[in-house]
Structure 1
Amino acid sequence: MGEFELDREEKLITAANYLVHELRSGKSLTRNAKKALESLSSELSRVVVVNSEDDNRYEEDEIKTRLNAVCEKIMTREVDETMIWDLGSEAGNEFLDAVNELRVLIDGGSTEEVSLRKAHDVLQTAMARLEDEFKHLLSENKLPFELEHASFRSDHCIEEGSFGAASTEDLIIGSSRRNSEEIAIDLVRPEVISDLRSIASTMVASGYDRECLQVCTTVRKEALDEFLYHHEVEKLSIEDVLKMDWATLNTNIKKWVRVMRSIVQVYLVSEKSLNDQIFGEEEEEEEAVTCFVDTVKAPVMQLLNFGEAVSLGPRQPEKLLRILEMYELASELLPEIDVLFSGNQLGSSVRGEYREVMRRLGECARATFLEFKSAIASDVSSHPFPGGAVHPLTNYVMNYLMALTDFSQTLDSLLMEHDDVEDLSIPPSPDVINPAMVVEEESAYENSSSPEKFLAMTKHFYSITSVLEANLEEKAKLYRDVSLRHIFLLNNIHYMTRKVLKSELKHIFGDKWNRKHTWKFQQQATEYERSTWLPVLSFLKDDTSGSGSGSGSRSLRPRERFQGFNTAFEEVYKAQTGWLISDERLREDVRTKASMWVIQAYWTFYSRHKNNVSERYIKYSTDDLEKLLLDLFAGSSKSLNNSYRR
């Protein structure tokens, strides 16, 4: 075999054939065969090493080629200032493919150190470009958000002024609460969501998740700040809020309620949905939560700070309805806040702050309600209210209670939390008609048919009306004319009763309260008739002692009785035409009863003495009197001319 000049490959083949022949012969290997086997093994080892080195050199060259190609592709885009995704998603995806390939090559780590450093530099450049592209896509494709998705409670507004002086007659009672449901809308054009998600995935996979989150947070926070600014939600400190007058504060609370509901139930839901779409993969779930909380925390805390400031303000009755509205809204939105801000420690801090502000608003509402009761008791008048009409305090209190029924469940729960330590003993309402008929308000409460689910609120409402009645009794004493005292109490108790019967208050006070107070104002009407018309009609009774005409009236002649009646009637007419009963039905009832008293007595006396008295002393006919009585309680004082004749 050594006689031939063969190249290395041919020698290996010859040696291999020789060994095969020897092995097939079944004999032990000869010395030459063993040498050939050793030589073959050595040669094969050298061939394998050479081939392996060639393969490695080829693979490294291929990686360098690919690396140079993707780096060139990336850097070519870097030179061009045109935003890549403005050219379309296809151009953007090509850039992302190059970046992802570069990242894979770097992760392989099989290239030399110089090339690896270059690759890292290019990757960093690519990430900076993707930050700009991501920000550009988010900013240029954001959609405006308006408050068209939420409807709100009707306005409860008590104007600023001294307690009892402001009318609440124009309060719009009722609720326009919207259902507590989530509405997700598009905050960014849907067609760019996939591009944003692709960019985010590439940046997160490349280890640039923090930079991606920072860009997303910055852009989206600017959008939310812009929304708040557009809807005039100012960044106010607690001191700023505490310095506001009521009109300004009232306006800001209404804005707060409107914006808070819309932000939580629509905007935050939509923002979270957007973050989930951009960082939607399971491995990126933490990024989605972090981005959402970082984006909305500051604006949400701004709104909560306003709520805290309101809760720290003075406990003025006119604020109660607004504070209850804020508290009720906060309670309603609490489950949604818990869901939106679950998932990390940062969200937990928002939930904790939200609960604390809600607690403070509830405590403020309860304290303000109790202050409202105290304000009623302390309302003192130095002069009688003109005409004996419904006092502004009565108007204020009853309309206030009507408005509070819109918050029955909320107010009842707040009062129930503290009623175990509150002194709820209720003073009786003074009964000026018949002291023997005084009934304890507590007894009336215990026997009322009010719904058990509002026990705490019902008890407090009984207490408030009791305090109001006691105050009205004191105000009635300011009138010198006893009859006008009765008209004043008649007007005010009737007003209270009608307000209860014609509103949701009837379910709070119950039938027994209504019957009792109907009896009360009817008794006031009866007492008015007695105190006014008995003295006048005493002139028309032949056998009367004539208490209204002074001593000796028993001996008055018929003509003198006509004269006495005329004078007394004209005095009543002059005074009581200036008194006011604003309720038309009540006014007609009082006039009708007065007419029945006067006309019947006058006709009887006139029929008996008309032939014995000169016509010049008979100043009025029954028709005249009936017409004149229709002028009473119109609120405009009139006088009868002395020359008045039939």
Structure 2
Amino acid sequence: MAEAGDENLYAAARDIARALGKDPSAAGDILQILSGYGATGNTSSNSRANASRVGGAYLNLDRSLNSLETQISSYIVEDRPIWSDPVDSRNFLDAVDELISMAGDMRSMAGDKSVAICLSRADELIQQVMFRLQEEFGYVMDRASESFDSDDEFSGEEDNDIGYGVQSQQVIVARPVTDYKIVIEPLQSSVIGDLNAIAVRMVAGGFGKECSRVYSSRRREFLEESLSRLHLRGLSMEEVQESPWQDLEDEIDRWIKAVTMVFRVFFPSERLLCDRVFSDLPVSSVTDLSFMEVCRGTTTQLLNFADAIALGSRLPERLFKVMDLYEAVQDLIPRMETLFSNKYCSPLKHEAVAIHKRLGEAVRGIFMELENLIRRDPPKTAFPGGGIHPITRYVMNYLRAACKSRQSLEQILDHTGNDAGSETRPLSVQLIWVLELLETNLEGKKRTYRDPPLCFLFMMNNGKYILDKATDNELGSILGEDWIVKHAAKLRQYHSNFLRSSWNQVVALLRTESPYLMLIENLKLFKARFDEVCLMQSQWVVTDEQLREELRSSIAGIVSPAYSSFVGRLKASPEINGRRGEPFIAYTVEDLELRIKGLFKER
């Protein structure tokens, strides 16, 4: 009966303590309430009786704690994992639940010294329990990894299959896939259930961060091993700066594939797993913190590589891969906004945005270096045959390839905040400026030719190449119709200047108003000059077939009529008297046209 009374008194104390949690001002009355609980008779006898009951409640509390301590300690001192036996794990969790509940009740009555003593013992036991649960949490995760041995059904599949493989450290590793609409489920539902059960108790015991630390360390191993299967070299900032660009180009290609896999498959799968392991918790901070810790290392490694490229050399040949990185990070940011929406992940999002900005700055710097490259390309010696200069080919192919990323380039170069309705966009201004620098450079190079006609042929060849590369493609669309019309007019002027400085002078020798003897002399001079020019211009280069035929046609259109008229005048001269002048006529009109068709080499 006494024990029943003690239990009633203890139950009453718990009820009152809960009430005190809502109204702390009543704390001073607890002993009076206890002393009057079920009391009758005089005050002194009631006080002695209730004091006896309080002492009995303490003894009952002490006995309950001793019983739990004995039960829990038997598991804590075990060398084998508790979760190696499902019955043991259930019994252990039940005891832990009772301990945490008892400690919570005692905290409401901690003002009583005897209760405070029991609470101190309970807290110490809880700490021991939490350390053991931390070990068990790691054991459950490690056991899940070890269950996938080398004979696993996925271990023999090719790299492009969907599945899991095993590395030397027995970490479950996702194989590369081509279908990004998948979810990786590396842990079985039963394992997730065990982890969740442990996590709930650790959070209730105030060890949420420790639980998160164990979880994130194991999952980071998974991501690191999975990332290694994507063949990323994991270069440091210094190694990136020192690596040959050709090696970095290959690494950038692998990086883009890896970042796509990570943010479309790995991280979403990790988020789902994290939500399941840490479900049913009173707060989401443990879940968010764990997810951030899982993803932080991989995200930082990937972003550091992109940052190293952004801070590297501004050589023009780097533009295209830097643009690839810029666009990849740009596509990445919306996914990060979705995946990294909690406060713990915000720094990772901000870092990605900052690196995206630095990649844009790198692109602008590369364009400036392209301008410097054109300016610094010296005239040196004349380019053989007046053909297309390498700088022209380089710049035009460069700009044409760059314009395939038109939208991104406009976004990068439009950093001055031009209005959307502006007719002149910064990209078009940039490209026209580069082409003006190129034309200025070519003007300097044409002065290396001693023969004026070859100067104009050089400008014509290069101008035609520039126009062709800017026609019917994105580059021409950006430059605009006005630029194309103006450049075509320049080509016609070069064409006209070429004829005027070369063949017009040859035809000028065929003056028909001269006396007979002068006609014969002029014919001799014409033949000599014609042969000389044909010999010289047959070695000149006109790469474009259409331009080559246009030039030949223009030359024939000047020479043939003039020569035909001259020969007719010569034959009609009274001094010649018919066929007597024919020995002086070395060529027929057809002979001249045949020689003209042999002008200009293709290369």
TM-score under structure 1 normalisation? 0.68
Q: Against the structure 1 CA distance between its residues 586 and 338, is the aligned structure 2 distance closer, same or farther, given a 3 Å change threshold? A: same
Q: Give the residue type in structure 2 aligned to 1:409.
A: Q
Unpaired segments of 5 or more residues in structure 1?
A: 1-37, 39-52, 85-90, 151-182, 421-449, 545-552, 637-646
- The reply on whether 1:146 has 2:116 as its aligned counterpart is no
Structure with larger Rg = 1
C-alpha distance in 2 between matches for 1:123 and 1:246? 52
Q: CA RMSD in A?
A: 4.1
SS in 2 for 1:148: coil
- The reply on whether 1:556 has 2:523 as its aligned counterpart is no
- The reply on whether 1:381 has 2:379 as its aligned counterpart is yes
In structure 2, what is the equivalent of residue 415 of structure 1? Answer: 413
C-alpha distance in 2 between matches for 1:190 and 1:628? 85
In structure 2, what is the equivalent of residue 624 of structure 1? Answer: 591
In structure 2, what is the equivalent of residue 426 of structure 1? Answer: none
Q: Using the TM superposition, name which of 208-217 and 604-613 deviates more.
A: 604-613
Q: Offset of 1:497 from its aligned partner?
A: 1.6
C-alpha distance in 1 between matches for 2:363 and 2:535? 48
- The reply on whether 1:137 has 2:136 as its aligned counterpart is no
In structure 2, what is the equivalent of residue 582 of structure 1? Answer: 543
SS in 1 for 2:552: helix
Q: Using the TM superposition, name which of 60-69 and 262-271 deviates more.
A: 60-69
C-alpha distance in 2 between matches for 1:397 and 1:263? 37
Query: In the alignment, is the contact (CA less than 8 A) between 1:137 and 1:196 conserved in 2?
Result: no
Q: Against the structure 1 CA distance between its residues 599 and 557, is the aligned structure 2 distance closer, same or farther, given a 3 Å change threshold? A: closer
5 Å matches for 1:98-247? Answer: 98-109=91-102, 125=132, 127-138=134-145, 140=147, 142-146=172-176, 148-149=178-179, 183=181, 185-188=183-186, 191=189, 193-205=192-204, 207-247=206-246
Query: In the alignment, is the contact (CA less than 8 A) between 1:388 and 1:485 conserved in 2?
Result: yes
Query: In the alignment, is the contact (CA less than 8 A) between 1:135 and 1:216 conserved in 2?
Result: no
- The reply on whether 1:600 has 2:561 as its aligned counterpart is yes
Query: In the alignment, is the contact (CA less than 8 A) between 1:143 and 1:186 conserved in 2?
Result: no
In structure 1, what is the equivalent of residue 356 of structure 2? Answer: 358
C-alpha offsets along residues 397-455 of structure 1, whole Å, 9 cap, x if unaligned? 222222232333333343333489xxxxxxxxxxxxxxxxxxxxxxxxxxxxx984761
In structure 1, what is the equivalent of residue 16 of structure 2? Answer: none
Query: In the alignment, is the contact (CA less than 8 A) between 1:387 and 1:635 conserved in 2?
Result: no
C-alpha distance in 2 between matches for 1:326 and 1:526? 47
Q: Against the structure 1 CA distance between its residues 98 and 244, is the aligned structure 2 distance closer, same or farther, given a 3 Å change threshold? A: same
In structure 2, what is the equivalent of residue 165 of structure 1? Answer: none
Query: In the alignment, is the contact (CA less than 8 A) between 2:387 and 2:458 conserved in 1?
Result: yes
Query: In the alignment, is the contact (CA less than 8 A) between 1:394 and 1:496 conserved in 2?
Result: yes
Q: Against the structure 1 CA distance between its residues 613 and 293, is the aligned structure 2 distance closer, same or farther, given a 3 Å change threshold? A: farther
Q: Offset of 1:614 from its aligned partner?
A: 6.3
SS in 1 for 2:178: helix
5 Å matches for 1:225-374? Answer: 225-283=224-282, 285-344=284-343, 346-374=344-372
Q: Against the structure 1 CA distance between its residues 485 and 315, is the aligned structure 2 distance closer, same or farther, given a 3 Å change threshold? A: same
Q: Give the residue type in structure 2 aligned to 1:416.
A: D
Query: In the alignment, is the contact (CA less than 8 A) between 1:536 and 1:568 conserved in 2?
Result: yes
- The reply on whether 1:540 has 2:510 as its aligned counterpart is yes
C-alpha offsets along residues 366-394 of structure 1, whole Å, 9 cap, x if unaligned? 23223322332332221111221122222
Query: In the alignment, is the contact (CA less than 8 A) between 1:131 and 1:215 conserved in 2?
Result: yes
- Answer 1 or 2: higher relative contact order, Cα 8 Å, separation at least 6: 1
Query: In the alignment, is the contact (CA less than 8 A) between 2:509 and 2:525 conserved in 1?
Result: yes
C-alpha distance in 1 between matches for 2:295 and 2:130? 31
C-alpha offsets along residues 547-591 of structure 1, whole Å, 9 cap, x if unaligned? xxxxxx995343x44443332222222222222222222222222
C-alpha distance in 2 between matches for 1:213 and 1:56? 37
Query: In the alignment, is the contact (CA less than 8 A) between 2:570 and 2:581 conserved in 1?
Result: no
C-alpha offsets along residues 287-339 of structure 1, whole Å, 9 cap, x if unaligned? 22111211221222222222332233333222233333323333332233233
In structure 1, what is the equivalent of residue 399 of structure 2? Answer: 401
C-alpha distance in 2 between matches for 1:281 and 1:607? 109
Q: Against the structure 1 CA distance between its residues 491 and 203, is the aligned structure 2 distance closer, same or farther, given a 3 Å change threshold? A: same
C-alpha distance in 1 between matches for 2:430 and 2:580? 63
Q: Give the residue type in structure 2 aligned to 1:387.
A: G
In structure 2, what is the equivalent of residue 500 of structure 1? Answer: 470
Query: In the alignment, is the contact (CA less than 8 A) between 1:276 and 1:288 conserved in 2?
Result: yes
C-alpha offsets along residues 583-620 of structure 1, whole Å, 9 cap, x if unaligned? 22222222222222233333333445465456665444
SS in 2 for 1:540: coil
In structure 2, what is the equivalent of residue 180 of structure 1? Answer: none
C-alpha distance in 2 between matches for 1:253 and 1:148? 18
Unpaired segments of 5 or more residues in structure 2?
A: 1-39, 41-54, 104-114, 149-171, 572-577
5 Å matches for 1:427-506? Answer: 452=422, 455-506=425-476
C-alpha distance in 1 between matches for 2:96 and 2:324? 55
In structure 1, what is the equivalent of residue 34 of structure 2? Answer: none
C-alpha distance in 2 between matches for 1:536 and 1:625? 13
Q: Offset of 1:517 from its aligned partner?
A: 1.0
- The reply on whether 1:565 has 2:526 as its aligned counterpart is yes
SS in 2 for 1:556: helix
In structure 1, what is the equivalent of residue 90 of structure 2? Answer: 97
C-alpha offsets along residues 452-492 of structure 1, whole Å, 9 cap, x if unaligned? 47612222222222222122111111111111111111111
Q: Against the structure 1 CA distance between its residues 599 and 335, is the aligned structure 2 distance closer, same or farther, given a 3 Å change threshold? A: same
C-alpha distance in 2 between matches for 1:275 and 1:414? 37
In structure 1, what is the equivalent of residue 600 of structure 2? Answer: 633
Q: Give the residue type in structure 2 aligned to 1:633.
A: F
Query: In the alignment, is the contact (CA less than 8 A) between 1:135 and 1:215 conserved in 2?
Result: no
Q: Percent identity?
A: 27
Query: In the alignment, is the contact (CA less than 8 A) between 2:509 and 2:526 conserved in 1?
Result: yes
Q: Using the TM superposition, name which of 398-407 and 106-115 deviates more.
A: 106-115
Q: Offset of 1:518 from its aligned partner?
A: 1.0
Q: Against the structure 1 CA distance between its residues 243 and 616, is the aligned structure 2 distance closer, same or farther, given a 3 Å change threshold? A: farther
C-alpha distance in 2 between matches for 1:203 and 1:628? 97
Q: Offset of 1:504 from its aligned partner?
A: 0.8
Q: Give the residue type in structure 2 aligned to 1:583.
A: D
Q: Against the structure 1 CA distance between its residues 282 and 57, is the aligned structure 2 distance closer, same or farther, given a 3 Å change threshold? A: closer
Q: Give the residue type in structure 1 aligned to 2:365.
A: A
Query: In the alignment, is the contact (CA less than 8 A) between 2:240 and 2:305 conserved in 1?
Result: yes
Q: Offset of 1:284 from its aligned partner?
A: 5.2
Q: Offset of 1:187 from its aligned partner?
A: 5.0
Q: Against the structure 1 CA distance between its residues 248 and 615, is the aligned structure 2 distance closer, same or farther, given a 3 Å change threshold? A: farther
C-alpha distance in 1 between matches for 2:258 and 2:483? 41
Q: Give the residue type in structure 2 aligned to 1:472.
A: L
Query: In the alignment, is the contact (CA less than 8 A) between 2:184 and 2:266 conserved in 1?
Result: no
C-alpha distance in 1 between matches for 2:269 and 2:68? 42
Q: Give the residue type in structure 2 aligned to 1:144.
A: A
Q: How many residues align?
A: 511
C-alpha distance in 1 between matches for 2:289 and 2:173? 22
C-alpha distance in 2 between matches for 1:120 and 1:313? 51
C-alpha distance in 1 between matches for 2:516 and 2:318? 63
